[in-house]
């Protein structure tokens, strides 16, 4: 497991603004207090790993802030980002419930705060909380559904559509919207090769799509900085 700067927790889990919408919200006060007693909070810098592919899984991770990427590599060292992980998500549960090593690594794309819950705590809480186990079953089913949808988009949607969709996915965690609500600025957290791999194409093909979006007035790329002049129009394009 990657090790970030270990921090004293800012607050109790139940006081986290993301807690009510997380899988952990089904717990009673006793087990919520237990979470606080065992959790370890870490601060990861951009580029720092949270855990590594093919390493043992020792518990679950809950993202408090920042942005992480799940990355998978082949035997030759080539890698691809499978998906992005946002605040409020719990990571590691497929490996935990499958009793296997991590099938992908996780790394911070931006400075991120992540809470870790060790296996012994998770086992104890799950033993008396079937509702939490049901939540993880739902999340596993959702991951399978999302994987199928991603494969479908890769096969049926144009590269320009997929690039626009990715920009909208990145905007909440890596961008800002002006007072009008219609102009946005985005700082791309991905290297061009990672962006291309996520979109299923070569970097030079992405460059052509970037030029096309600029010519259409949908998004202007300047290095990693992206200006979106008409956010409503961009959202209409990816409906």
What is the rounded CA–CA span in Å between residue 63 and residue 50? 10
At residue 32, φ and ψ (nearest 5 deg) are -65, -40
| pLDDT at position 12 | 84
| pLDDT at position 15 | 87
| pLDDT at position 9 | 66
Q: What is the DSSP letter of 86?
A: -
| pLDDT at position 235 | 95
User: In terms of CATH architecture, what is 158-237?
Assistant: Orthogonal Bundle (1.10)
Structure tokens at 216: 């259409």
Quick one: 145 exposed, middle or buried, by C-beta within 10 A (0-12, 13-18, 19+)?
exposed
| pLDDT at position 192 | 86
Angle at alpha carbon of residue 135, lines to 131 and 138, rounded to 5°: 135
Instruction: Encode burial over 9-19: b for 16+ CB neighbours within 10 A, e otherwise.
Output: eeeebeebebb
Could you report the average pLDDT of every consecutive run of 10 residues in the chain (239 residues)? Answer: 65 87 93 92 94 96 95 87 93 95 95 95 95 96 92 92 94 91 93 89 92 95 94 93
Could you give the C-alpha distances from 45 to 63, 109, 165, 197, 217, in angstroms and in order? 14, 8, 26, 23, 34
* Angle separating helix axes 192-199 and 159-174, nearest 10 degrees: 120
CATH number listed for the domain at residues 5-153: 2.60.120.10
| pLDDT at position 228 | 96
What is the rounded CA–CA span in Å between residue 221 and residue 187? 10
| pLDDT at position 154 | 87
| pLDDT at position 76 | 84
- Establish how many alpha carbons lie within 13 A of residue 47's alpha carbon, considering only the half-sphere containing its beta carbon: 1
| pLDDT at position 77 | 81
| pLDDT at position 162 | 95
Sequence-ordered list of residues with C-beta below 8 angstroms from that of 45, at least 6 positions apart, any chain: 4, 108, 111
Structure tokens at 89: 């998500």
The domains of the chain are located at: 5-153, 158-237
């Amino acid at each position: 497991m990657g090790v970030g700067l270990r921090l004293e927790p800012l607050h109790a889990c139940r006081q986290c603004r993301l807690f009510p919408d997380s899988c952990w919200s089904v717990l009673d006060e006793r087990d919520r207090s237990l979470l606080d007693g065992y959790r370890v909070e870490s601060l990861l810098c951009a580029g720092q790993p949270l855990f590594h592919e093919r390493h043992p899984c020792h518990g679950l991770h809950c993202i408090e802030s920042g942005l992480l990427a799940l990355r998978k590599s082949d035997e030759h060292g080539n890698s691809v980002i499978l998906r992005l992980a946002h605040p409020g998500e719990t990571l590691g549960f497929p490996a935990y419930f499958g009793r296997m090593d991590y099938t992908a690594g996780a790394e911070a794309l931006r400075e991120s705060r992540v809470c870790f819950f060790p296996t012994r705590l998770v086992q104890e809480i799950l033993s008396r909380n079937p509702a939490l186990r049901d939540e993880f079953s739902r999340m596993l089913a959702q991951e399978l559904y999302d994987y199928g949808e991603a494969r479908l988009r890769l096969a049926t949607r144009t590269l320009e559509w997929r690039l626009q969709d990715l920009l909208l996915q990145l905007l909440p965690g890596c961008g800002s919207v002006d007072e009008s609500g219609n102009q946005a600025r985005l700082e791309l957290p991905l290297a061009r090769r990672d962006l291309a791999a996520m979109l299923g194409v070569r970097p030079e093909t992405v460059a052509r799509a970037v030029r096309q979006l600029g010519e259409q007035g949908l998004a202007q790329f300047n290095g990693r900085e992206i200006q979106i002049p008409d956010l409503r129009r961009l959202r209409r394009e990816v409906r």
